[in-house]
Amino acid sequence: MSHFAKVLNGQVIQVIVAEPEFFDTFVDTSPGQWIQTSYNTYGNQHKLGGTPLRGNYASVGYVYDATNDVFYEPQPYASWTLNHSTWLWEAPSSYPTDGKLYSWDEPTTSWVEV
């Protein structure tokens, strides 16, 4: 079985599991386009060592960039930038590695201990 995302105006509105042949007989008159996505793709890497498919596994609300043929999450914070190699958003500073829990504070653009 494969996963397919329904995309409308560059946004994922539905994800289903189906065989590719399903779309040979499935009649969908609602607007949008079905695009295959891979459950095993994250950060433009295939977790089983295969070929990654479209940057990231699509979820409802994700962005579909038709120019680059990739799925990625919506921008979480205005200060974060999209890495065009991994198709993941990156904070302006790295997450601390001291073992404590942190959350992002956009007004100070920094990690704050929880």
At 90, is the pLDDT very low, low, confident or very high (cuts 50, 70, 90)? Answer: very high
Q: C-alpha 113: how far from its chain's center?
A: 27
Beta strands in 9-114 (DSSP E): 11-18, 33-37, 41-42, 45-46, 63-65, 70-72, 81-83, 88-90, 102-105, 110-113
Per the DSSP assignment, residues forming a β-bridge with 81 are 90
pTM: 0.90
Strand partners, 35: 5
Which pLDDT belongs to residue 53?
A: 97
Q: Over 90: is that where the pLDDT of 20 sits?
A: no
What share of the chain has pLDDT > 90, as a percent?
A: 90
pLDDT over threshold 90, residue 79:
yes
